[in-house]
Each structure stands twice: as structure tokens, then as C-alpha cells.
Amino acid sequence: MAAGAPLGVDVGLRSVANDPGVGREERLEALAAIASALPPAIASRGVTNNHIHTFYSFSPYSPAMAALGSREAGLEVAGSVDHDSISASREMVAACALLGLGSVTGCELRVSLGRRPDGSSLPFAGRKINNPDSVGIAYMTIQGVSAGRVGELDAFLAPIRAARLERTSRMASAASLVLRVAGIEGIDFERDVVAFSKASEGGGVTERHLLAAVARRLVAQFGKGSRLLDGIERSLGIKPSPKVAALVSDPNNDKLLYDLLGLLKSDFLDRVFEQPGERECPEASKAAAFARSIGAVPAYAYLGDVGDSPTGDKKAEKFEDEFLEELFDAIASLGFAGVAYMPPRNTAAQIARVRELCAERGLMQISGVDINSPRQGFDCPELVLPEFANLRDSAWALVAHERLSTVDPRADLFSHDNPLASLPIDQRIESYSRVGRALDPRRPDDVADALDGLFKGRYSR
């Protein structure tokens, strides 16, 4: 029995459901067989997660396995968010339906916060916002993408992926040079980086793919255990913290690749990093306007000053907290509809401030845990707390938004033609959360009654 596999679940089926080497339909067939052996009722605690990465960016999970992991963690709603890619969408929706979960799909991308739509300058060009690697560039999400608009979003993201691929290729060449100077065999971009991605299916190729290639090369060069740790320290001059050193030197560490990746992101990436350009990071207002044009929800991804990074790959550092009011004024004016934040990442004071600023500016509050490592759980137990009931409601509202607007664009939560358009955002979310909970998650296309009820006011107060 594989570690973490529940009793009675076929390990072979789990392997197929998470296999990047087979097609989407084969993964879903394996998941359907797994689902048939599960109890029909979900042992839910009211937890949701809207920010799960799949192997269409960098993650150990297929969309099918991400949905299964969410079900096993007791989630009610699971959402896929991949870097520069919406390719997980179809599989994620189908997988959640098989498992009786609400689903939300979207993507994450980087945008420039240097200019307003009229071309005038914003005061963020020289500031580190929510991106540890760049100044003037911010991460945002586009969420609640209806099935009928996925192709348009993919077309919008395609040139961004292409520009990132070119830049990552140059960084791979730089990394190879650093390795060779250190007496280590270099890496080949196509063989060691691209081949381990889903680029051929519209997936993104990120710095994590590059660092994973370096990590595999280090293991091939030095082996595992203390030899690996000694080799890294001696050849690259990297001296990890005692906690990370213990993980890297453990010869039986089945998560070694991800632990090495986190170490390299903190202590190697800056040696080869090349700043992204305009082709890779469109103006924030343009990205937000595009998201709204397809009926999706553009959201700023709040990071906040970092102490202890939950993913182990971010140094303690200051980000946007010192100018947060100014920033939130800007994103509201640039067309952002929401702010995404993660309760496990931030302090109570940070979260209280973000919530207050969102409420003052009418911004939707969206939450989830950034899942991209096997050391993370799919759960977000903080959302069980009464003070985060609004985040659970927002997740269900996005479920309803995505499913209903697929059939009728007027059901877009932010559409001017929405029957609830005159209501404040918190009241619209409350009504939409009722719709989302009333929908049958196993029948994602069955929304006729919900649409009728929405337009007749049955879900309003």
C-alpha cells in the first residue's frame, strides 16, 4: 500500500490517475473507478481550497489527483490554478464532478504594475510588491473561468508561455555554466526541463521546472545522503539551515526533489535569474480587462511581509504591507474584482487589514492554500473558524459563477446584466453561495433550475 493511500483504494488506479504520461481520459477513467469505491457522502468540515497547482505548471498532482486529494482531505470545493495555463480546467471540473466536489478553475500570471490604462505611471515600478524575484511585477489570478471561455484564455496565455519558455531556456544555459564551473555536468533544456513539463499540452514551464532539473543533476552527480549535502556545500557553496540540511542528507527522503527545489530557489536561482519582460508580464489593467471580457474574476494575490514561509522557498522579506492602502486603491482602479489571500500564510493582523481594505473598496475576498509540494496538505483548517465564513461563501459563489455563466453570460457575478447587479458585493456573494451549495456537484451541466431561481430572486434575501 502506497503511503497516504486509504484502505480499499487500488494503488494502481491511483498511479494511473496521477500519471502525466497517459491521457486525460485515461486518468479520469481511473478516478471514476476509485470514486465508485468511495462512500457517496463527503466527510466535509466546510473547508475549501481555490489555489491548487497541478502538473500543468509545477506540482506532483494531476488535476484528477488534486481533486482526489481534496476529497480525501474533506474539502467541499477544489480549485485549480496553474501558472500561465488553463489546461487543467476540463480535467479538474470532470474529476470534481466524479467525486461530488464543487469546482473552480483558473490560472495565475504575473503582470506589470508600472502604468495606468491611460499610460501614466503608477508608483510601484521600483517596489517589490508580491513577487520575491522582481520589482514592479505582481502575481494575480484569473478565477471562475466558464467552460465556454477556456479557449480564449488559453489564447491570451499562449504568447506569455512562449516568452517565458524563451527566458527559461536562457536561464537553463546560465545554470549549466554555473554547474560546469563547479565541476558538475550541465543540463539540457529540452531533455531535462521541457520534457518534464506539460508544455506540449499548454502547460507552463517555470523556474521550478528548471530548478528541478538542477536538483536531479545534483543527485545524479553526488548520490543521496550525506554525500549529496557535502557535494552541494563544497561545489556550490550553499549551506542550508539545519532543518533543510537534515532533509537533504536523508537517504530515504521520498520528497527529496521538492526539498532540494526549495533550497535552490532560495540559494541558487538568483545566480541565473533573468528578469521577465513585457511580453511575459502584460500591464495589469490589460490582464484584468481581458479577464472581465470573458466573464472571469481577476484578483490580486496578496502575499504580505514574509516570516516563516509555509512552502519553504521564500526568504523572510518585506513586500506590500508598507503601502497596502495605496496598492489596493490602484488595483481597484485597474479593474481587479477581488483579492486572493491565504489564511495559513499571514498573521491575524495582516488578514484583518486585508479584509478591511477589501470591504472598503468592494473587492471580493478569495482564499485558498498554494499547493505545489507533497509536503503540503490540501486542507486549510483555518477556514473552519467562524470569522472565515465569508471565504467559504466566496468559494461556493465562484462555483455558481463558473457553472451558471457557462450557460448564460448574464449570470456572471460581476455582469451589469446580472439580476443582482445593484446589490453590494457581499450580498451578491451570499446569494451566489446559496446557488453554489444548491447545485448538484455530480452534474456540472445541470443548472437550468438554479438559473431560473437566480433570475426570479429565490436565492436573494
pLDDT tens, position by position, 236-286: 999 999 999 999 999 999 999 999 999 999 999 999 999 999 999 999 999
Q: How confident is the model at residue 310 (pLDDT cuts 50, 70, 90)?
A: very low
Confidence at residue 31, expressed as pLDDT on a 0 to 100 scale: 97
Average pLDDT, integer, range 352-371: 94
Closest CA to 267 of 189, 214, 344, 194: 214
Residue with cell 480549485: 79
CA distances from 138 to 5, 54, 249 (A): 37, 21, 35
What is the distance of C-alpha 243 from the center of its chain? Answer: 26
Separation of alpha carbons 199 and 203, rounded Å: 4
Length in residues, the chain: 461
Query: Which tens digits make up the pLDDT trace of 125-159?
Result: 889 999 999 999 999 999 999 999 999 999 999 99
Q: How confident is the model at residue 9 (pLDDT cuts 50, 70, 90)?
A: low
Average pLDDT, integer, range 39-53: 82
Contact between residue 55 and residue 199 where contact means Cβ atoms under 8 Å apart = no
Q: Is the pLDDT of residue 309 over 60?
A: no
Cell of 146: 466558464
Confidence at residue 314, expressed as pLDDT on a 0 to 100 scale: 52
Neighbours of 130 (CB within 10 A): 18
Q: What is the DSSP letter of 358?
A: H
Q: pTM (2 decimals)?
A: 0.93
What is the distance of C-alpha 274 from the center of its chain? Answer: 22
What is the distance of C-alpha 115 from the center of its chain? Answer: 25
**57-66, 398-407, 429-438, 446-455: segment of lowest average pLDDT:** 446-455
Q: How confident is the model at residue 51 (pLDDT cuts 50, 70, 90)?
A: very high
Cell of 133: 524575484
Contact between residue 420 and residue 164 where contact means Cβ atoms under 8 Å apart = no
DSSP string for 302-322:
---SBSS-TTS---SB--GGG
Q: Is the pLDDT of residue 40 over 80?
A: no
Separation of alpha carbons 185 and 220, rounded Å: 9
Confidence at residue 7, expressed as pLDDT on a 0 to 100 scale: 45
Burial readout 222-241 (b: 16 or more C-beta within 10 A, e: otherwise): beeeeebbebbeebbebebe
Closest CA to 387 of 421, 348, 416: 348
For the chain, the average pLDDT equals: 93
Q: Is the pLDDT of residue 4 over 70?
A: no
CA distances from 79 to 51, 200, 322 (A): 6, 23, 30
Degrees, nearest 5: CA angle 221-226-231: 40
Confidence at residue 8, expressed as pLDDT on a 0 to 100 scale: 47
Confidence at residue 313, expressed as pLDDT on a 0 to 100 scale: 47
Q: Is the pLDDT of residue 44 over 60?
A: yes
Contact between residue 364 and residue 429 where contact means Cβ atoms under 8 Å apart = yes
Q: In the structure, how many helices (H) and strands (E) does the chain have?
A: 16, 7
Q: Is the pLDDT of residue 47 over 90?
A: no
Average pLDDT, integer, range 186-193: 98
Strand spans (E) along 120-176: 137-143
Separation of alpha carbons 157 and 110, rounded Å: 11
More confident residue, 315 or 192: 192
Closest CA to 204 of 194, 192, 217: 194
Confidence at residue 420, expressed as pLDDT on a 0 to 100 scale: 93
Q: Is the pLDDT of residue 311 over 50?
A: no
Separation of alpha carbons 195 and 261, rounded Å: 17
Confidence at residue 43, expressed as pLDDT on a 0 to 100 scale: 63
Average pLDDT, integer, range 390-407: 95
More confident residue, 292 or 312: 292
More confident residue, 202 or 126: 202
Confidence at residue 3, expressed as pLDDT on a 0 to 100 scale: 40
Q: What is the DSSP letter of 5?
A: P
Cell of 148: 465556454
Q: Is the pLDDT of residue 6 over 80?
A: no
Average pLDDT, integer, range 349-365: 96
Q: Is the pLDDT of residue 312 over 50?
A: no
